[in-house]
């Protein structure tokens, strides 16, 4: 069930631009979290969310039960962007921002607080070299015009997560944003000329793989597949194995809890998006499988 009570706080923001480390290091120079905590944490995606395992973020609170609204995010961005841009170009070759890796930038609360919208407006004034907007929410279409203006000022990709074609997985909570709504959002963004990448992350049992990837090919320019094995911050998926997610996946499709499942689905995806299928961190960085099966570099990030 979705959490019905949410602790909302408004802490001061010291520095909204975080220099990337770990798996994000080859994806971007910085991550940017407009919120801390995530209202989607009690929904389907929250079950396999690697952030829920971070004691630094949760500080003992249940994932999905709290939201820190970072009201001064845009001001912090503008105050630090010159320094961070110079550092990123010198140290990483490019000023590339991933928004957001540890929260949802467009939860329902964004309609009230507008933190992500104000950050995007600040980026219009001081654009990065590359912006990757990562979301699980169809609400991203509410910022369509702003994203189109930003696309004229920097390279921009919208990563929209759609992990399966199923609206429900028995035994697990529903997604916060229905699958059909996210596909409709992707279609609209793509139709208006934005670069849309569907992130199937972590991959869940897909009922009709050819139909699923054919649909993705109609509303996106690329697809990224990620499995909880190797994708949850542990090499063997042990964080996720401690949650109800693998059991629910296995009940529907026993093979889906094996890493091979991701690769078999990648083969299906490649029939519909040749040269535009990314795996794990390479995919998030825009490095896609080539005709020979090797990843190739797309962005100098
Ligand atoms: S939207 Fe992202 S950060 Fe939030 S619970 Fe889902 S996977 Fe985690």
Q: Domain boundaries in the chain? A: 7-204+215-224
pLDDT at position 297 over 90: no
Quote the pLDDT of residue 23.
84
Quote the pLDDT of residue 4.
59
Q: Which residues contact 205 (CB under 8 A, 6 or more apart)?
A: 164, 166, 169, 249, 252, 253, 256
What pTM does this model have? 0.94
The number of the ligand 1 atom at minimal distance from the alpha carbon of 107 is 1
Quote the pLDDT of residue 235.
86
Give the number of other CB atoms < 10 A from CB of residue 111: 11
Question: Could you report the per-residue pLDDT of 49-91, keeping only the tens digit for each?
Answer: 989 989 999 999 999 999 999 999 999 999 999 999 999 999 9
- pLDDT-derived band at 291, boundaries 50, 70, 90: very low
- pLDDT-derived band at 301, boundaries 50, 70, 90: very low
Question: Could you report the per-residue pLDDT of 217-276, keeping only the tens digit for each?
Answer: 999 999 999 999 988 888 899 989 989 999 999 999 999 999 999 999 999 999 999 999
Distance 134 CA to ligand 1 centre (A): 10
Q: Which residues line ligand 1 (CB under 6 A)?
A: 38, 40-41, 45-46, 49, 51, 102-104, 136
- Closest CA to ligand 1's atom 8: 49
Domain 7-204+215-224 has CATH 3.80.30: yes
Give the CA diameter of the chain.
Answer: 51
pLDDT at position 293 over 80: no
Quote the pLDDT of residue 234.
85
């Amino acid at each position: 069930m979705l959490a019905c009570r949410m602790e909302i706080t408004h802490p001061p923001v010291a520095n909204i631009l975080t220099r990337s480390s770990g798996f994000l290091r080859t994806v971007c120079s910085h991550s940017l979290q407009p919120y801390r905590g995530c209202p989607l944490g009690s929904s389907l995606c929250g079950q396999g969310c690697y952030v829920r395992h971070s004691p630094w973020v949760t500080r003992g609170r249940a994932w999905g039960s709290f939201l820190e609204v970072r009201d001064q995010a845009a001001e912090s961005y503008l105050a630090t962007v010159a320094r961070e841009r110079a550092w990123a170009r010198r140290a990483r070759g490019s000023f590339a921002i991933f928004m957001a890796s540890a929260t949802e930038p467009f939860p329902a609360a964004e309609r009230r607080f507008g933190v992500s919208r104000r950050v995007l407006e600040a980026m219009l004034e001081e654009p990065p070299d590359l912006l990757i907007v990562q979301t699980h929410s169809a609400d991203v279409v509410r910022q369509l015009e702003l994203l189109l203006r930003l696309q004229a000022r920097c390279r921009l990709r919208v990563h929209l997560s759609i992990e399966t074609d199923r609206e429900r997985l028995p035994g697990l909570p529903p997604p916060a944003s229905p699958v059909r709504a996210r596909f409709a959002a992707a279609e609209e963004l793509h139709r208006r000329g934005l670069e849309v990448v569907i992130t199937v992350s972590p991959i869940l049992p897909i009922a009709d793989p050819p139909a699923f990837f054919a649909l993705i090919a109609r509303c996106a320019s690329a697809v990224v597949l990620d499995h909880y094995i190797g994708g949850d911050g542990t090499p063997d998926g042990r964080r996720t194995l401690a949650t109800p997610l693998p059991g629910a996946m296995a009940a529907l499709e026993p093979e889906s809890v094996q890493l091979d499942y991701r690769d078999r689905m990648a083969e299906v995806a490649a029939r519909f998006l040749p040269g535009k299928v990314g795996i794990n961190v390479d995919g998030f960085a825009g490095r896609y499988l080539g005709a020979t099966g090797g990843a190739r570099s797309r962005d100098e990030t």
